[in-house]
Chains A and B, each alone.
Chain A
């Protein structure tokens, strides 16, 4: 008996499924995979005084003879030169510390908004989102005005009599921390808020009913149940901060060399595209690790309750 031909509706369903799955993959391929392949290719080339400023990875030398040159010196250079390693480590350090600071500041804020009376919540959330109305760059510039030796902060502290001479904050690592925490705090607060509003208040009542004091109830119930929000918020802060360029460039000093800034100078000042690309590839690899780890963790947590 011949297999029945798929009916029009079945074919239609297959088509639509193909389109549904296809579009995101097409998007990823076009705007992530392709650029990534280009950068990877550049990272394996040699710098050259040409347009574009790197050698081709392959060329036809003769009839039927293809020469492929893979240059790993860029990666070796990055691995061997302390400058790159210290920039990478510094970036990681800044990202870790800033993520923790954002968490410490953002959690109480998100908690306060989530537990505030309903009619206040929108207003409070608006206040968190409001800075986005102004350009990121302008807000970072504004911090220069606040932090510089005769800026708002120092003037205020001197006026209060707390200090005699202005504090040197601008162009130090501290300024970078301030700028980063300020800029990325909303990215911590919003996912945490979304998570905490979903917390069933009767769980805390049940904890109290079973003899649990408020602080313990927070540690035993609220905190573990908001873990997903903490992880999401931390990722949203950590990943972009590692590659952050504008804030260390404007607020940081010579000692606060971050990988984003280094990338920029390799690319634009030194015109060493291959080295900059190698650095970018390494940075990406470095960021993929925590991301995969988080996904593993999430899968395990979901696996325990199918």
Chain B
């Protein structure tokens, strides 16, 4: 077990005395009548790898652009390292951004692209050369230094863009869909590299992504956004295991949702009556009033085959296998239960697929434990 002090240095957001490096205070951005970002407040700490996650049009990019100074908020303030930068233009802000399109200058070589920001700071020539060399080295693109952007592959461009945005040694780096333009294989490798780089340099990263897997792998914390608002801010584990609303639960991974209402409370557990069958007994994190409409949310991999199906058992369902998706390591089973709802269950393929008993049209009983899911009120 980590001590409290260790935990606090790893998870500064748990420490009430920690001072955030970046503070977004009730920021709103309107385009005409549309609220792109609607009253968002966030605190991001030094050394974090923070992800803004959401589907396109949720306002995550607009929020990032406001941090860079490329858009100005309609209301609210932004503080970086305690300084109010809300009205500071992009060219005077101590942040750098890696653009989704990379935005490399097509008329300049790799070297000149990386050097561009340093020139604006009037850094002496020798120092500039050293810094450029250091950056090219860091991203392993030294042999590309004389090439122009249109002579580079997608992955190489991504590295150049990253080198350029890191060249000024910013304390805060903004990344707009940093891996969006890469193919899947390259993306997975680059994810780890990006995290290593971030840890090595100790820079605070704020990234925007629509890819939940990407956000889960890389981030210290994730803010899930929808319609300009933040739905939940938490660690990847908490976001996945303990979503606080249906929207977050459904956005990350797949999940089974059972609507119902609270019929009894027993200690920290509640009994929920749903339309699919007998009551479900689930752990609740806060007290709930009887009769509250709730949704029981259980992830497919938390479901298991039930050996002793009892007519009075809780958290048990009976159904018929309708679809099987074989993914190699796991298989996804879609099971039609009581009232016609489809329940998804993931099982690890411990045995080769051909040896498994579970097949189409088979009657199965499934179950889960009270701590395997959450009860959502919104």
Which residues does A use to contact B, with CB under 8 Å? 200, 202-203, 205-214, 216, 220-221, 224-225, 304-306
Contacts and interface: CB of A to CB of B under 8 A. Distances in A.
A206 B104 CA distance: 8
Nearest to B148: A305
Contacts of B148: 304-305
For the complex of A and B, 7 pairs with smallest distance between CB atoms: A210-B117, A211-B120, A206-B103, A208-B90, A202-B103, A305-B148, A208-B91
B96 interface: yes
Contacts of A213: 91
B117 A211 contact: yes
Interface in B78-92: 89-92
B130 to A, nearest CB: 18
B236 to A, nearest CB: 28
A206 B99 contact: yes
Q: Residue among B103, B104, B165 with the most chain A CB within 10 A?
A: B103
A205 B103 contact: yes
Chain B, interface residues (CB within 8 Å), range? 20 to 34
Interface of B: 68-70, 89-92, 95-97, 99, 101, 103-107, 116-117, 120-121, 148, 150-151, 164-165, 168
Contact of A200 (B91, B101, B165): B101
A206 B150 CA distance: 17
A206 B91 CA distance: 9
A120 B53 CA distance: 35
A305 B147 CA distance: 8
Given A203-B103, A212-B91, A212-B120, 7 more contacts: A202-B103, A205-B103, A209-B68, A211-B92, A214-B91, A220-B116, A225-B106
Q: Residue among B89, B92, B95, B106 with the most chain A CB within 10 A?
A: B106
Nearest to B96: A209
Nearest to B117: A210
24 contacts: A200-B101, A202-B101, A203-B103, A203-B106, A205-B70, A205-B99, A206-B99, A206-B103, A208-B69, A208-B91, A209-B91, A209-B97, A209-B165, A210-B91, A210-B96, A210-B116, A210-B120, A211-B117, A214-B91, A225-B107, A304-B148, A305-B148, A305-B150, A306-B151
A154 to B, nearest CB: 47
Nearest to A213: B91
Contacts of B164: 206, 210
The A contact surface, by secondary structure, is helix
A219 B193 CA distance: 35
Nearest to A221: B105
Nearest to A211: B120
A203 B148 CA distance: 15
Contacts of B120: 210-212, 216
Contacts of A305: 148, 150-151
A211 B121 contact: yes
A203 B149 CA distance: 13
Given A202-B103, A206-B105, A216-B120, A211 B150 contact: no
Contacts of A200: 101, 103
Nearest to A216: B120
Nearest to B94: A211
A200 B105 CA distance: 10
Nearest to A210: B117
A223 to B, nearest CB: 10
Contacts of A306: 151
Contacts of A212: 91, 116, 120
A25 B178 CA distance: 50
A303 B141 CA distance: 23
Contacts of B106: 203, 225
Q: Residue among B91, B92, B150, B151 with the most chain A CB within 10 A?
A: B91
A209 B166 CA distance: 12
A279 to B, nearest CB: 41
A172 B150 CA distance: 51
Nearest to B120: A211
A29 to B, nearest CB: 37
